[in-house]
Amino acid sequence: MEIKSFTRVTLALDIIKKIVSGPYCGYHELAIIKHQIDLCDLISVSEAPSMSLECNVESVPCSPENICWKAANLLKEQYNIDKNIHIEINKNIPVMGGLAGGSANAAATILLLNQFWELGLSTEAMMCSGRKLGMDVPFYFLGKTAFDSEATEVLYQVPTNAAFTFILAVPDFGVSTRSAYSSICYDSVGKNVSLTEKLISGLKNNHSDLYRYLHNDFEDNVFREYPQLAVIKGELLNAGCKAAMLSGSGSTVLGVVENGADVEKIAGSISCRTIITRTLNDITH
């Protein structure tokens, strides 16, 4: 059995605060607008005498450290499954690019094994399992466009008909999520929550001019450490994108292109690898 593992970009990302007590102590409360796109990996599973995994990208671990392998082991433990599988990952989503491809793959693995092992799990049960693997995983069981606070577990869909064309500018290096969080300057984040609220309202009411509300609090510290990313953002804007911003904690820089623009020409003028992608309008698991 196989499934397409569609990923997402972030249209807004506010770092609200670091959590200092409780089960998620050390994590952060965020306010993120996540928006699913048609860029995907392909995940397949088959019966096997022992657990195994292969991937077409060398940097992805093919061991129990892989998040898809962890997802399978988690379900085996939770539901007393005495079976093994071989997992194959065909990746198109950039690794360490702020696009949460690993989290998308973990959710896809849970969805796939729910069918493969005939577990009959509800969406809520799969989301609960996904949260044990990573804060970004539960979103993928809702998909489309959603608000997500991650560690404080506020997650809900934002109904919208808004559709975007994106240019993903992918440099030849990644940004470690751990590194991005460790260098946050707390005095300079969490100041654009009003923009996120306006973005949610605009998405719900299908306003056409949403570009001015797009933002990402990680840009301050990530651009300071990786100034090349600020240069790439400038290239996207100068080439004709209506907005440009870091996706997640980077390293992918997201350019938003207005309908009717010459997307290929804009993408071709950027100094790093680019991927043209669009809003995911429909998905069948």
**Mean pLDDT, the chain cut into blocks of 10 residues (285 residues total):** 98 96 93 98 98 97 98 98 98 96 98 98 98 97 97 96 96 93 95 98 93 97 97 98 97 94 95 97 58
- CA-to-CA distance for 115 and 109, rounded, in angstroms? 10
> What residues are paired with 31 via a beta bridge?
14
Q: Tell me the domain boundaries of the chain.
A: 2-157, 165-278
Whether 199 contacts 14, CB under 8 Å? no
3-class DSSP state of 102: helix
Nearest to 104 by CA among 52, 154, 158, 141: 141
pLDDT reported for residue 283: 54
Q: State which amino acid sits at residue 172.
A: D
User: Domain spanning 165-278 has what CATH number?
Assistant: 3.30.70.890
pLDDT reported for residue 6: 98
Whether 90 contacts 65, CB under 8 Å? no
pLDDT reported for residue 285: 43
User: Domain spanning 2-157 has what CATH number?
Assistant: 3.30.230.10
- CA-to-CA distance for 203 and 145, rounded, in angstroms? 9
pLDDT reported for residue 208: 85
- CA-to-CA distance for 127 and 197, rounded, in angstroms? 25
Q: State which amino acid sits at residue 40.
A: C
Q: What is the largest CA-CA distance in the chain?
A: 56
pLDDT reported for residue 284: 45
pLDDT reported for residue 139: 98
Task: Give the contacts of 179 (CB within 8 A, at least 6 positions apart).
Answer: 225
